[in-house]
Amino acid sequence: MTDLNPADGARTLELDRAYVFHSWSAQGALKPFVIAGALGSEVWDFEGRHYLDFSSMLVNTNIGHAHPKVVAAIQEQAAILPTVAPAHANLTRGEAARRIVEKAGPEFSKVFFTNGGADANENAIRMARLVTGRDKVLSHYRSYHGNTGAAIVSTGDWRRVPNEFARGHVHFFGPFPYRSEFWSDSPEQETERALHHLKRVIQAEGPDSIAAILLEGVPGTAGVLVPTPGYLAGVRKLADEYGILLILDEVMAGFGRTGDWFSWQNATINPDRVVPDLVTFAKGVNSGYVPVGGVIMPPEIAAAFDETVFPGGLTYSGHPLAMASIVASIDAMQEEGIVENAAAVGRDTLGPGLAALQQDHRMIGEVRGLGVFWALDLVVDRDTREPVPASTIAALKNACLERGLLPFTADNRIHVVPPCTVTAGDAARGLAILDEVFTAVEQA
């Protein structure tokens, strides 16, 4: 950690408020949290205060902050070939693509690289429309797929509504037993009714008009909604029945977050090992050290463009610095057992610890998740399941920061999403802070 000067913190905030326009925000009242540096599972400010990162920034620093192998790989690549046009071949790009395909499995053969998750979804939708000759895309209301044209309209939450300029998008409800749209009384019944709902939407929209069903492997921003038993298998069956492609958005759920390389490879989520037709990724593939994303495709979809031009591309597709960070990240995750660590911490520390918090704090209506991917659904009353108001979330967030914990909050929830590298000790420390925070806010 370099020498820290509190004046630099004040200067950082001054420059930010003078010149920076922030995402998804009314700008006037913003006072962003200032970060001076980070390492592993901690960040710190210019006053030298350290915070345990239970947010992974935007649920993307899976390998932790400033991992030395990834930093070194970026530095080395910058000295060799810092940029290259995407039409040229580049060794690091090929190595990155090979590693991603190997982790995805034998059903896949190629990777199209993008600048992030949104344009990964954008291009997966484009591929599906071109290959099927159909137009419509079906996706969950409880979802987030990015902020580009088709990706934001595929998104189900409020951010879609001011941005509905793309064509051919239809939404449906996925399973969510705790707040069921289907009046279900068990996860199995939730699956049955959710699949019936989807089938009727497909039939009502006209199956021959539907190119793809786009789902997050585990909807993340919407609340870490682990699919109910049999749901993914049922969606796969419906897609096959009607000749529709299944796209899984693994931007947040991929590369260790669920304790597997991809969420659909997790036996809890997908015991039937349903395989999607296209996979999108970003975030955890290199922990966001350099912006990158992509689409993983099987041979038959890649071959569709052997003689036909694929009408898509980006100046920075397969950027060498991003590719080097991917190679180093995947290698380090494999060599250091980071994916296995995420599974173990979730199973042995976070899962039991969060269940214990739920026992002690009636504000916690439900605990959902696995690996290092959890959400606490916070309620005013457990019987009615009325969500806590925004003021309560603000109080919880402030109390976390006061105690040295950087949280991820969304709607009426706290998401517990530390890096995949988090130790059992740090996970337990974060749980202890959360216990203090809930106690303080409940007594206020």
Cα separations (Å) of 387 from 181, 356, 377, 382? 16, 20, 8, 9
Which pLDDT tens digit goes with each residue over 173-224? 999 999 999 999 999 999 999 999 999 999 999 999 999 999 999 999 999 9
Whether 36 has a pLDDT exceeding 70, the answer reads yes
Whether 128 has a pLDDT exceeding 80, the answer reads yes
Region 125-154: mean pLDDT is 95
Whole-model pTM: value is 0.96
Which pLDDT tens digit goes with each residue over 282-314? 999 999 999 999 999 999 999 999 999 999 999
Lowest mean pLDDT, pick from 55-69, 160-174, 189-203? 160-174
pLDDT score of 158? 87
In the structure encoding, which two tokens stand for residue 3, read together?
């020498």
Fold of the domain built from segment(s) 68-335: Aspartate Aminotransferase; domain 2 (3.40.640)
Indicate the pairing of strand 42-44 with strand 37-39: antiparallel
Which pLDDT tens digit goes with each residue over 106-121? 999 999 999 999 999 9
User: In terms of Cα–Cα distance, which of 131, 414, 141, 124 is closest to 282?
Assistant: 124
pLDDT score of 72? 98
In the structure encoding, which two tokens stand for residue 44, read together?
């710190």
Q: How far apart are CA 173 and CA 27, in angstroms?
A: 32
Which option is the CATH number for 6-66+337-443: 3.90.1150.10, 3.30.300.250, 3.30.200.20, 3.30.1490.20? 3.90.1150.10
Whether 268 has a pLDDT exceeding 80, the answer reads yes
User: In terms of Cα–Cα distance, which of 288, 286, 293 is closest to 332?
Assistant: 286
Whether 2 has a pLDDT exceeding 70, the answer reads no
Q: How far apart are CA 94 and CA 109, in angstroms?
A: 12
pLDDT score of 141? 97
Determine the angle formed by the axes of helices 320-335 and 338-345, rounding to 10 degrees.
60
In the structure encoding, which two tokens stand for residue 47, read together?
């006053």
35 class by beta-carbon count within 10 Å (0-12 exposed, 13-18 middle, 19+ buried) = middle
Region 399-418: mean pLDDT is 98
Contact call for residues 301 and 131 (beta carbons, < 8 A): yes
Domain boundaries, the chain: 6-66+337-443, 68-335
pLDDT score of 1? 55
Contact call for residues 40 and 64 (beta carbons, < 8 A): yes
* Phi, then psi, of 279 in degrees rounded to 5: -130, 130
User: In terms of Cα–Cα distance, which of 278, 305, 271, 273 is closest to 293?
Assistant: 278
pLDDT-derived band at 68, boundaries 50, 70, 90: very high
pLDDT score of 149? 86
